[in-house]
Structure formats: C-alpha cells, structure tokens
Amino acid sequence: MPILDLSPGDQTVTVSGDTPLLEVYAALPAGLFPPFPPVELPGGVGGLVARGGFAQTFFFGAEVLGVTFRAPSGRVIRAGGRTVKNVQGYDLTRPFVGSFGRLGEALDVTLRLRPGPHARHVAAPGSLEALGPLSARFAWQDGEDVHLLHFGHAREVERALAVLLGAREVKEPLDLTARFPGGIGVGEGALRDRRFGWVNGGAAPPVPPLFARLAASL
C-alpha cells in the first residue's frame, strides 16, 4: 500500500517513497491538496522530496513534516514526525529535502496537506521570468507555455491566475515521465520552474563540502 496513512483532520498524508505523485492526488479527498501539482515525474514522492519539489512558489521544505530514509551507510533514519505539533527538535528532515540523493533514499514521507475549495490549472504561451511575482501556488514553464495552478477560495484562484492572459484550462493531470527515461535532474531544458531547469538524467546541483561531511556522518 503506497498510501500508508491519510489524516484529513491533521491535514497530513504519509506515503511510501516510491508512490507516484498522481496516486497521492487520487487518494486525497476533494478539497485537500499536496505540495505539488498533478504532474507525474520520475521517482515518485521520494524523488520529488529529494529534489526539493517541483514548480512550487512557496517554501517546500515546510510542507515535509517527516521522512524515514536509508542513509548511504545503510542506516535507517526517522526524521520529523507525522503531525505538525510533535516535532521536538534534533530534526533531520530539512537537510533531506533537496538533498538530491546525497543523504540516501526516502522510504516514507509525511506531507502536509492544504485545504482549498476551488482549484484551477491553466496554461498559455509566455515567459515565467516575465510574469514577475506570482501568487499562484505552482508555476512552471514547458517549452513555449507557462503553467499556473492554484487552489483556494474562488476569488483568490481567479486573482492568482488572471496574470496569465488568454490562458486555456488544463483539465487533466499531466504525465511527463516519458520525457525523462534516465530520471530527472537539473540542467537547461524545456521544463523549468523558478528554482531549476529539469532535464533527462540525474544531474544534481554541486554539493557543498559541508553537506558531504554531513552525509558521511549519517
């Protein structure tokens, strides 16, 4: 079972690291959203967390409440927790988020869910850079098109998407995995968000020496 725990009351979901992103969407009740858009990418939730997310305009690390991972040493490390409240300190979650595999592999991940009575995904030819500051929760460029996705109250959704003129509705989840047969890594390519370009292959940003020491310590 890739969905290990779903708590709409606590607004959290715990899934195995290999859970496809669209399976998380399929498992959630209406009106609750994970911290990623409905776009399938290689590596499932564990891969997404290791890359530090995709397309978010908010701070992704805050949405990852806990992670159990196998460190390069083989040790299994349980970091953070399953609820927002029970984190006591000595927390290794955040270095795992965006560690591009250098701290090992995610076995399970607990994500925060956010409520939104309305959601809308639109796309239109344009430039992500030229759009300036955005209130949409997700924004990415795919070739000539900019995609924006937001959830929340109806008026807030309209406001967040109004910056993209002449946009068409995107009604279905997207599956982009076929474009990344060798996995997904950073580099210059057609798919870009505000952090990185995303290309075929597993390239990671350069690892700071300090982080390499941390990885070796776990």
Q: List residues near a second copy by CB under 8 A.
A: 51-52, 57-62, 65, 75, 77, 84-85, 87-95, 97-100, 102, 194-196, 205, 207-208, 210-211, 213-214, 216-218
Q: 171 vs 213, which CB is nearer to a second copy?
A: 213
Complex with a second copy: residue 85 or 171, whichever CB lies closer: 85
Q: What DSSP string runs through 176-204?
A: -GGG-TT-EEEEEEEEE-SS-EEEES---
* Residue 155 to residue 52: CA distance in whole angstroms: 29
Cα gap 173→176, rounded to integer Å: 10
Q: Phi, psi at residue 42, to the nearest 5°? A: -65, 150
Nearest to 181 by CA among 160, 201, 164: 201
Query: Distance between CA 2 and CA 45 in Å, rounded?
Result: 10
The maximal CA–CA distance of the chain, rounded, in angstroms, is 52
Give 3 or 77: the residue with its C-beta nearer to a second copy.
77
| C-beta closer to a second copy: residue 2 or 81 | 81
Residues contacting residue 42 through CB under 8 Å, at least 6 positions apart: 177, 180, 183, 184
Nearer to a second copy, 137 or 147 (CB): 137
Picking from 55, 17, 59, the residue whose alpha carbon sits closest to that of residue 36 is 55
